[in-house]
């Protein structure tokens, strides 16, 4: 069975949330959903979930056995079942919003990527086909290309001569990108690379902090003590760097530090978020503060992504236009000089 898309996950979460809020049990709810299944595939998945529920009595274990659901969602369901807030958890899993964000990002990137591909083709044609023509013109005028224009023509000659090698390199790069986006080990590799870059590191850290704050809000609102809350929320994060911060925070709380102080000293929250956590701890409203922090982090992530996409397109246009302009000027200026001296 193939994994669910974000839109399918959103539909599943919404249905379960409505069922639970209506006072219907998970098992009975899955039975209702199975009876109303609109496709053989959906019916097959719900059959597997029903079988798992009957064997284990746990929605989390039933979902885990299908291997169709993301780790984050599974651990949120586990927290919901343990804390008795499964209806709130399922309602808080905004996969529809994530799907909209992903589509927005994909649509925003599609045009620049098409433009890059077209401009790359133009540049290759200039180097491979047009530059040799200009070289013939120079030869007919009793001279030849020199300096930068000569180097560009040599690049074009190399591309033409070793085209198979370049095609293989492009295929390897495409395969690497596919591996990095489709497999767990690939995503871990991309994350380790991303942590070495300032902008992407900030986004990774904010996503991890957002998940932590969201999970803490759910567990603390259910009356679970902070230590157990952090143990449950640790599983929500697949970010090894942030997991080490959580471990350090747990260690400090076990040593007697207040949760807000431990969060600050473990570098999980800083600045305004640390002050909000401190106020929440002193006023006994840490769960509400954590929910606010999660919302602020999400807004910040959205803003960063929108700013990145807004800058990307004009930057590509300027960069690629400069490249084409430099190639043409490298041959046109010497040619105009020769023509004017005749």
Tally of domains within the chain: 2
Mean per-residue pLDDT, 251-272 = 83
pLDDT for residue 107: 63
Q: So what's the pLDDT on residue 342?
A: 60
Q: What is the pLDDT of residue 300?
A: 84
- The confidence score (pLDDT) of residue 96 equals 53
Q: Are residues 172 and 291 in the same domain?
A: yes
- Count CB-CB contacts under 10 A for residue 27: 14
Report whether pLDDT(42) > 60.
Answer: yes
Residues 175, 262 within the same domain: yes
DSSP structure class, residue 115: H
3-state DSSP: the chain helix, strand, coil percent, rounded to 5? Answer: 85, 0, 15
CA 280 to chain centre: 30
One domain for residues 21 and 163? no
Instruction: Looking at the structure, tell me whether residues 104 and 80 fall in a common domain.
Output: no
> What pLDDT, on the 0 to 100 scale, is given for residue 184?
63
DSSP string, 36-66: T--SHHHHHHHHHHHHHHHHHS-HHHHHHHH
Mark whether 67 and 175 lie in a shared domain: no
pLDDT of residue 27 exceeding 70, the answer is yes
Same domain as 303, residue 193: yes
- CA dist 45 and 47 (Å) reads 5
Whether residues 58 and 172 share a domain: the answer is no
Residue 30 lies in a domain: yes
Do residues 284 and 275 touch, judged by C-beta distance below 8 A? no
Check whether 249 has a pLDDT greater than 60: yes
Which range marks the domain in which residue 145 is found?
A: 97-342
Give how far Cα 72 sits from Cα of 27, 92, 157, 212, 232, Å. 22, 12, 51, 11, 12
Confidence tier at 7 by pLDDT (50, 70, 90): confident
Would you say residue 200 lies in a domain? yes
State how far the Cα of 139 lies from the Cα of 107, in Å rounded to an integer: 48
Burial of 131 (0-12, 13-18, 19+ CB in 10 A): buried
Cα-to-chain-centroid distance, residue 309:
14
- Angle of the 147-161 helix axis to the 163-182 helix axis, nearest 10: 80
Q: How confident is the model at residue 185, as a pLDDT?
A: 67
Structural domain includes residue 1? no
- State residue 308's pLDDT score: 75
268 DSSP 8-state letter:
S
| Segment 73-101, tens digit of pLDDT | 887 788 888 878 888 878 777 565 555 55
Helix axes 184-194, 198-221, angle to 10 degrees: 120
Q: Are residues 173 and 193 in the same domain?
A: yes
Residue 244: left (phi > 0), alpha (psi -120 to 50), or beta? alpha
Domain boundary residue, one of 34, 60, 93: 93
Q: Is 220 within 8 Å of 226 (Cβ atoms)?
A: yes
User: In this structure, are 268 and 186 located in the same domain?
Assistant: yes
Indicate whether 65 belongs to any domain: yes
* pLDDT at residue number 103: 63
Question: How far is Cα 166 from Cα 186, in angstroms, rounded to an integer?
Answer: 23
Task: Average the pLDDT over 231-236 and give the result.
Answer: 76
- The verdict on 65 and 174 lying in the same domain is no
Mind listing the pLDDT tens digit for each residue in 193-232? 766 776 677 877 888 888 888 888 877 877 777 877 887 7
Q: Which of 17-26, 83-92, 276-285 comes out lowest in average pLDDT?
A: 83-92
Per DSSP, the three-state class of 179 is helix
Condensed to tens digits (0 to 9), the pLDDT of residues 164-202 reads: 888 888 888 877 767 666 666 666 776 677 667 766 778
Domain CATH number, residue 30: 1.20.81.30
Are 59 and 131 contained in the same domain? Answer: no
Q: Is residue 256 part of a domain?
A: yes
- Whole-prediction pTM: 0.66
Q: Assess whether 138 and 252 both reside in one domain.
A: yes
Select from 56, 77, 93 the last residue of a domain.
93
Question: What does the pLDDT read at residue 257?
Answer: 83
């Amino acid at each position: 069975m193939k994994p669910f898309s974000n839109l399918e996950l959103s539909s599943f979460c919404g249905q379960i949330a409505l069922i639970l809020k209506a006072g219907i049990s998970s098992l009975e709810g899955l039975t209702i959903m199975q009876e109303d299944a609109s496709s053989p595939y959906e019916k097959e998945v719900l059959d597997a979930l029903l079988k798992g529920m009957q064997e284990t009595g746990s929605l989390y274990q039933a979902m885990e056995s299908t291997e169709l659901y993301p780790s984050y969602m599974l651990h949120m369901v586990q927290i919901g079942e343990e804390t008795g807030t499964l209806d709130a958890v399922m309602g808080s899993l905004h996969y529809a919003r994530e799907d909209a964000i992903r589509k927005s990002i994909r649509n925003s990137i599609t045009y620049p990527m098409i433009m890059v591909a077209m401009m790359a083709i133009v540049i290759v044609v200039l180097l491979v086909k047009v530059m040799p023509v200009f070289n013939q013109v120079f030869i007919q005028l009793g001279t030849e290309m020199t300096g930068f224009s000569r180097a560009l023509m040599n690049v074009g000659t190399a591309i033409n001569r070793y085209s198979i090698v370049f095609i293989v390199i492009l295929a390897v790069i495409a395969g690497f990108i596919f591996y990095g986006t489709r497999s767990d080990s690939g995503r871990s590799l991309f994350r380790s690379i991303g942590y070495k870059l300032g902008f992407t590191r900030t986004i990774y850290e904010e996503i991890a902090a957002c998940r932590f704050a969201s999970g803490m809000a759910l567990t603390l609102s259910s009356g679970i003590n902070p230590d157990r809350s952090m143990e449950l929320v640790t599983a929500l994060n697949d970010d090894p760097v942030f997991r080490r911060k959580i471990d350090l925070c747990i260690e400090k709380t076990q040593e007697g530090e207040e949760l807000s102080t431990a969060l600050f000293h473990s570098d999980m929250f800083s600045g305004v978020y640390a002050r909000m956590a401190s106020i929440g701890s002193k006023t006994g409203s840490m769960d509400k503060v954590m929910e606010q922090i999660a919302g602020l982090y999400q807004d910040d992530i959205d803003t960063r992504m929108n700013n990145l996409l807004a800058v990307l397109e004009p930057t590509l246009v300027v960069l690629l236009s400069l490249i084409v302009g430099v190639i043409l000027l490298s041959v046109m200026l010497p040619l105009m000089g020769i023509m004017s001296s005749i």
